[in-house]
Structure formats: structure tokens, C-alpha cells
Amino acid sequence: MQAPSAYSAGMKTHQYTIRKVPERVDRLLREKARQSKTSLNQAALEALQAGLGEPTEKKLNHDFDFLFGTWVEDPAFDEAMKYFDRIDEEMWK
């Protein structure tokens, strides 16, 4: 059954409900999700893609590429950051 148009308006992806998943497939999929430390949804998507011969490589983002190689040493910043290295023993009692 197709999702109502008001629900899916603006969505660039599709949503599925899969019924009658065999116990063995469910167990294997959950194990795959656990091992790869991803959601069950992500593991299912990767399994579908692999089964269809689609690449499952994760897309690399380049959002912060402009920051690479721009570090400037700043002693004042380093001094201020020392505050975060302290452990307040009273808070751990």
C-alpha cells in the first residue's frame, strides 16, 4: 500500500513495510546490525543494495574540507583548554 501523499510529500526516499520476514533472516540481519554497530534499518538497506548488486560503500562527505591545513598555533587557546583537563575530586565523591 502506498503512503498517503500528504505523508510522503517532499520525501526523496521511499519507505517500505516488509512482512513475513523469516526468523533466520531476522536473526542474521540483527546480528549484522550489531556487528557493524548500525541500526537494523541501515543493515537492511545495505543487504537490499548488496542483493541487487548496488554498491554499499558509504558516501564520503566533504563538508569540512576547507578546514584541512588551516590550524594555527594559539598559546592562549591552549592555556584556556587546560581547564578541561582538570578533575575536580570533590565532584567524584
Condensed to tens digits (0 to 9), the pLDDT of residues 16-52 reads 999 999 999 999 999 999 999 999 999 999 999 999 9
The pLDDT of residue 4 is above 90: no
Question: Would you tell me the crossing angle of helices 23-36 and 40-51 to the nearest 10 degrees?
Answer: 110
Q: How confident is the model at residue 86 (pLDDT cuts 50, 70, 90)?
A: confident
Alpha helices per DSSP H over the chain: 5-8, 23-36, 40-51, 75-81
The single-letter code of the amino acid at 56 is T
Q: How confident is the model at residue 1 (pLDDT cuts 50, 70, 90)?
A: low
Query: Whole-angstrom Cα distance, residue 15 to residue 85?
Result: 46
Please choose, from the candidates 16, 40, 17, the residue with its C-alpha nearest in 3D space to the C-alpha of residue 30.
40
Range of the domain at 71: 5-92
The single-letter code of the amino acid at 83 is Y
Distance of CA 74 to the CA centre of its chain: 33
Total domains, the chain: 1
For residue 46, give the C-alpha cell: 545495505
